[in-house]
Amino acid sequence: MAESIKKSDIIENDILKSVIIEFEQAQVKIKAFNDELRQTARLSKDGLNNVKFNSVTDINQAKIAILEANNAIKQKVLLEKGEIEVATALEQAKVKQAKAENDLNQQKARSEAITNKLTRSEQMLQSAYSRVNGWLGKLRSEYRDLAIKKELNGKLTDDEVRRMQNIEVRMTSYDSALKKVDASMGNHQRNVGNYAMAYNGLGNSVNQLTREMPAFANSVGTGFMAISNNLPIFFDEINKIKQANKDLVSQGQPVKSVFSQIGGAIFSVGTALSVGVTLLTIYGAKIVEFISTLGDEESAIKDSIESLDQRNKKLEESIQIQGMITSYYQKVRDMQLKNYELQLDDANKEEKIYKFRLKTTIEYYDNIQKELFLSEDKTANLRRKFRAEKDNEKKEEINKEIRDSELETAKLLMEYNTRNLALSIIEREGLRAREKELEDSLKKQLDLERKIEDERIKRISDKLQLDLTNTRIEANRRIEDLKLLDADEKQKSRLKKEIELTLSFDLKKIYEDYYKDLEVKAKSFYEKEINEIIKQQKAKEKALEDEKNKQKKWNDEIIQELDLHYKKINTEATNNENITNEELDKIRIENEIKQKEDELSFFKSRGEEYKSEVIKLEEEIAILKRTSRKKNEVSITKTINDVVKFGADYFIEQSNRKIAQIDKEQQQHEKAYSLYSDLAKNGNIQAKESLALENQQIVEANKKKQAELKKQAMWKLIEGGVSAYAKNAGDPNVKNPVMKTFTDITLLTQLLKTLPSFEVGTENTGTNGNGIDGRGGFHAILHPNERVLTKEQNQLIGNVSNEDLALTMNKLNSGELVKLKEGATSSVGNWQNMALISEIQDLKNIIKNKPDFKIEAGEIIQGAMSIVETKTTKNSIYSNRYIVK
Amino acid sequence: MFLNAWVKCNNDEIKYTRRTLTDGTEQEDVKQWEVLQNQYLERFGLPEDYQKFLMLSVSKAKAQLDYVISGKRFELNKITALEMKINSLTNKSGEEITIQKMLNHLSKMQGYTLTLYNTTVSQYFELIDTLQKQK
């Protein structure tokens, strides 16, 4: 049996679809309502914009508008809430519907697969049944031929005799199999005349009577009371036999005696058993006593156990056989259905043949008519030709042709009339027979179709579908029966409409009943499902809570462990207070290296599989080792760095002092040189000698100064180098810090050599920059207290030389150069006048900008007198208080 | 109009707009009460606090309508702020001053007894006005 699609699933899917549609409609409605509300709100707002409070009416209107706004916002909030709820519900319904649809599709696929499988099985079985039936028919035909031959000739050949015997055996076998198959489908056509196989009502009633016989063991009265219920059935059965015999007599068939049948019923197995039970009831004790005297009790029990076992075994076999038979009958039913369908095809074929014959006949009749018409036409043409022809000879020829044509027409006419007559005879004589034949064929066809329908209905498991199909088929059959009804078309049409109307009501009622029932079921189902969900949710929450508790417990344990660990560490640290942070770091790194090495050895032991892990670990260990080494180096380097820095600072300071001393001496030498120079100009010879000596002293002082500066540079270089080394030593990625430092310093030195220096100053840095900042910038060396101007500032001062700039500014600062007015300066030559003008200008400015102070008593504010101070500068007046004008 | 009738009218007993209580209809009462209120507004204007309250209520209504129109939730903040302002205006702490108390006060100020029955509405409000100005 094919697995049918659950109707509840289809309904659920449909319900969900309709729910989705309803939700969508609700959304549309909410949107429309929202729009309407918005429109109203706009109007209310327009009213509020022009609100005034000049009269009571205005105030009342404002109050109404305020109330309206309050209501509007309440409605808006409700709408928003509804919108959210609908959207959520819609989403949920969509998810459920998708799931339901998916389930339904899966069920459909499964059902189709099973149906296909069953169809194939049916076809196979059907073909087997037809084959056997066909073989039986052939065998019977052959048997009949041989039998008639034997009757006519008196004897058969040896081969024929053997063949006949063989046929008998096969016929019996096939016939018995087919009979069983038919019987399984309630078709006992093959058992017509075989009354022994029919239901034996008499035997049954006698059995009922004999079953009550043990009651006579109590008393005769009880016995008769027990059988009194079954006696009427017994008498009815006797009457039935009598009636059956009468029917047989009327049909001219032999009858079976009533008494012989009663005798047969009385002496049946069931009756014998009942009599046996009665005897056992009456004489049971004595029989048992008798049996016990016959043999050993133990052997009797053993025998009874064995017999019980055998009985059980037979029962099991019987159950198995019963199962097989049931399955077999099911298959046979399917075969029968197929057979009906084939027969239906045959019925349709007969109808088609008849229609074909009729069509052929009509076509033939039409053809003759056509030929006749053509022939008559030909004759008419010839006659026209004859009349037009003047030549007598030709006329004679045409006349001959006309005669031939007339003869042919006459022949065709004769044939046409004969056909016409034959057709009318067929129609007249055959019409009735044909009608009957058609009617029979139609009935046969209807019967077969109904049998097929019945078989199909039996296969419908769904209640709704079954009810609907039954109702529809019943109505259809009533409509089909109308065709056979002796009534006019109008009446038939009216009856048909009535049937259809009744059908629609019936179907509606079936649907209503079904959905009512389904609704109740669905409600209970969803309630159950919701409860289940709540239950699951609670279980989940509980599990989550348990998990949290578990996690908390673990966390507590970890915290405890960590506490213990840190306490231990603290204790150790307290015990070893002398250990520095660097040493602790070192220990930590060593421990880490050890751990990684253990891990490495573990992975190495695993071989190729963990090669990448091994490489990774080796790299990590190398880095850790380098870090450890660097730590040592850094601590040492730091010390060296400190020492070097201290040394450098000290030596540079000393060097600076020396330079200062040299400068002082140099200045003294320069002064002396200047003095000696003046004296030498006046002709003092000693002064000339001293002049050379002083000059030499100045040169030596310069040399010493240069040497000191070089020393300072060297110390700075050393300090930088050590600092760079300390930095490189601390970087675990630098494998050789000494080499790196050396390379860095070399590069730096080379770079410094290539960089331009402005030790003597410059007015213009030129345009040869390599653009390191994208604007033509370049590296350069600058020294303390130097000045750098921008390009714009340089342009502003007219690109004058540094020397001129310094000189001008110096003069300006010393008052030698006076600023007359904005953008103009005096020449150095008449600076005295200019200074005067400048002084006058200053005085004028001072007088002009002199502030005018006024102090007066203000208002008494909070019991204290405030002083109002007013200051007038140029055209602006400043006061420390607000003044009311 | 004496103060007694004014108080009654304010308590929704607007038949006190009549000179004779049995003479007149309710419709006429409504009309007359409106006329009287308008006269009061014309002469003394709306009380300052009440005017503020109305203005705030109108602003709040506008904000509410803005929210309904636009659906933007930040409008709700505006509404809440205005509600707070209105609440602060309506929940002003202080002793509630009844008309009788005020009359007692004014009597003391004037030096003679002022009652609901011998004081007209215009007298009462003008005296209050004067008192406020003196303060």
pLDDT digits (tens, 9 = 90+) for A45-55: 888 888 888 88
Which residues of B fall within a CB distance of 8 Å from A54?
Answer: 41
Phi first, then psi, for residue A289 (nearest 5°) are -60, -40
Provide the 3-class DSSP secondary structure of residue A360: helix
The CB-side HSE value for A142 (13 A sphere, CA atoms) comes to: 17
Residues A90, A24 contacting (CB under 8 angstroms)? yes
How far apart, in Å, are the Cα atoms of A22 and each of A49, A118, A217, A861?
40, 41, 78, 78
How far apart, in Å, are the Cα atoms of A265 and each of A12, A105, A272?
59, 60, 10
Nearest CA in chain B to A79: B68
Q: Is A72 at the interface with chain B, CB within 8 A?
A: yes
Q: Distance between CA atoms of A296 and A288, rounded to whole angstroms?
A: 13
**pTM, to two decimals:** 0.30
Task: Tell if the CB–CB gap between B58 and A65 is shorter than 8 Å.
Answer: yes
Nearest CA in chain B to A77: B68
Which residues of A fall within a CB distance of 8 Å from B77?
Answer: none
- For residue B65, count CB atoms less than 10 angstroms from its CB and return exposed for 0-12, middle for 13-18, buried for 19 or more: buried
For testing contact with chain A, the best of B52, B68, B77 (most A CBs within 10 A): B68
Structure tokens at A101: 């649809």
How far apart, in Å, are the Cα atoms of A545 and each of A69, A197, A534, A541, A603?
48, 75, 16, 6, 40
Would you tell me the crossing angle of helices A297-388 and A392-425 to the nearest 10 degrees?
150
Structure tokens at A659: 């330079």
Nearest to A818, CA basis, from A804, A834, A841, A797: A834
Q: Which residue has the tokens 């933007």?
A: B72
- For residue A666, count CB atoms less than 10 angstroms from its CB and return exposed for 0-12, middle for 13-18, buried for 19 or more: buried
Q: Is A169 at the interface with chain B, CB within 8 A?
A: no
Which residues of B fall within a CB distance of 8 Å from A59?
Answer: 54
Q: Distance between CA atoms of A362 and B110, rounded to whole angstroms?
A: 135
Task: Tell if the CB–CB gap between B38 and A53 is shorter than 8 Å.
Answer: no
Residue A637's contacts (CB-CB under 8 Å, 6 or more residues apart) are A722, A725, A726, A729, A730
Tens of pLDDT, residue by residue over A492-511, are 888 888 888 888 888 888 88
Element (H, E) at B60: helix B48-70
The interface residues of chain A toward chain B in range 114-133, judged by CB-CB distance below 8 A, are: none
Q: Distance between CA atoms of A155 and A135, rounded to whole angstroms?
A: 26
Task: Tell if the CB–CB gap between A38 and B68 is shorter than 8 Å.
Answer: yes
- Nearest-CB residue to A37 (from B37, B60, B68): B68
List beta partners, residue A864: A861
Q: Distance between CA atoms of B97 and B131, rounded to whole angstroms?
A: 14
Structure tokens at A24: 């969508």
Which residues of A fall within a CB distance of 8 Å from B67?
Answer: 73, 76
Residues of chain A with pLDDT under 50: 1-3, 195-198, 821-823, 825-831, 857-866, 881-885
Would you list which residues of chain B are within 8 Å, Cβ to Cβ, of chain A?
34, 37-38, 41, 46, 51, 54, 57-58, 60-62, 64-69, 71, 79
Task: Tell if the CB–CB gap between A69 and B60 is shorter than 8 Å.
Answer: yes
| A875 Cα distance to chain centroid | 84
Residue A684's contacts (CB-CB under 8 Å, 6 or more residues apart) are A676
Task: Tell if the CB–CB gap between A69 and B65 is shorter than 8 Å.
Answer: yes
Q: What share of chain A is helix, strand, coil (3-state, %, to 5)?
A: 80, 5, 15
Q: Minimum mean pLDDT among A722-726, B75-79, B82-86: which range?
A: A722-726
Q: Distance between CA atoms of A393 and A9, rounded to whole angstroms?
A: 98
Nearest to A854, CA basis, from A832, A880, A831: A880
Which residues of B fall within a CB distance of 8 Å from A70?
Answer: 61, 64
Residues A104, A5 contacting (CB under 8 angstroms)? yes
pLDDT at A447 (0 to 100): 80
Smallest CA–CA distance, residue B114 to chain A, in Å, is 29
Provide the 3-class DSSP secondary structure of residue A218: coil
| A757 Cα distance to chain centroid | 73
Q: Distance between CA atoms of A792 and A761, rounded to whole angstroms?
A: 18
User: Which amino acid makes up residue B114?
Assistant: L
Q: Write b or e for each residue in A601-611: b if 16 or more Cβ atoms lie within 10 A of its Cβ, otherwise e.
A: eebeeeeeebe
Report DSSP letters for A518-587, one per residue: HHHHHHHHHHHHHHHHHHHHHHHHHHHHHHHHHHHHHHHHHHHHHHHHHHHHHHHHHHTTT--HHHHHHH
**ipTM, 2 dp:** 0.85
How far apart, in Å, are the Cα atoms of A506 and each of A226, A471, A474?
49, 7, 11
Task: Tell if the CB–CB gap between A65 and B61 is shorter than 8 Å.
Answer: yes
pLDDT at B58 (0 to 100): 92
For testing contact with chain B, the best of A36, A45, A60, A79 (most B CBs within 10 A): A45
Structure tokens at A23: 């939700």
| Ramachandran assignment for A186, one of left (phi > 0), alpha (psi -120 to 50 degrees), beta (any other) | left
Residue B60 has pLDDT above 90, yes or no: yes
Which residues of B fall within a CB distance of 8 Å from A55?
Answer: 37-38, 41
Nearest CA in chain A to B47: A53
Q: Distance between CA atoms of A256 and A135, rounded to whole angstroms?
A: 35
Helix residue spans in A731-878 (DSSP H): 737-754, 791-796, 802-814, 831-848
The interface residues of chain A toward chain B in range 73-112, judged by CB-CB distance below 8 A, are: 73, 76, 80
Q: Distance between CA atoms of A219 and A590, rounded to whole angstroms?
A: 113
Task: Tell if the CB–CB gap between B67 and A73 is shorter than 8 Å.
Answer: yes
For testing contact with chain B, the best of A49, A73, A76 (most B CBs within 10 A): A73
Residue A455's contacts (CB-CB under 8 Å, 6 or more residues apart) are A333, A336, A337, A340
Phi first, then psi, for residue A739 (nearest 5°) are -65, -40
User: Which amino acid makes up residue B103?
Assistant: L
Smallest CA–CA distance, residue B97 to chain A, in Å, is 24
- Nearest-CB residue to A41 (from B57, B58, B69): B69
Query: Over the Cα atoms of chain A, what is R_g?
Result: 67
Structure tokens at A672: 């002396």
Query: Around Cβ A48, how many Cβ atoms within 10 Å?
Result: 20
Q: Distance between CA atoms of B98 and B10, rounded to whole angstroms?
A: 13
The interface residues of chain A toward chain B in range 10-49, judged by CB-CB distance below 8 A, are: 37-38, 41-42, 44-45, 48-49
Q: Is A452 at the interface with chain B, CB within 8 A?
A: no
Q: Distance between CA atoms of A351 and A479, rounded to whole angstroms?
A: 21
**Pairing state between β A819-821 and A824-825:** antiparallel
- Nearest-CB residue to B64 (from A38, A49, A72): A72
Q: Distance between CA atoms of A798 and A791, rounded to whole angstroms?
A: 11
Element (H, E) at A869: strand A864-873
Q: Which residue has the tokens 């969508």?
A: A24
Task: Tell if the CB–CB gap between B67 and A76 is shorter than 8 Å.
Answer: yes
First-to-last CA distance in chain A?
A: 112
Q: Distance between CA atoms of A29 and A428, rounded to whole angstroms?
A: 74
pLDDT at A250 (0 to 100): 62
Under 8 Å CB pairs connecting chains A and B tally to 64
Q: Distance between CA atoms of A339 and A133, rounded to whole angstroms?
A: 11
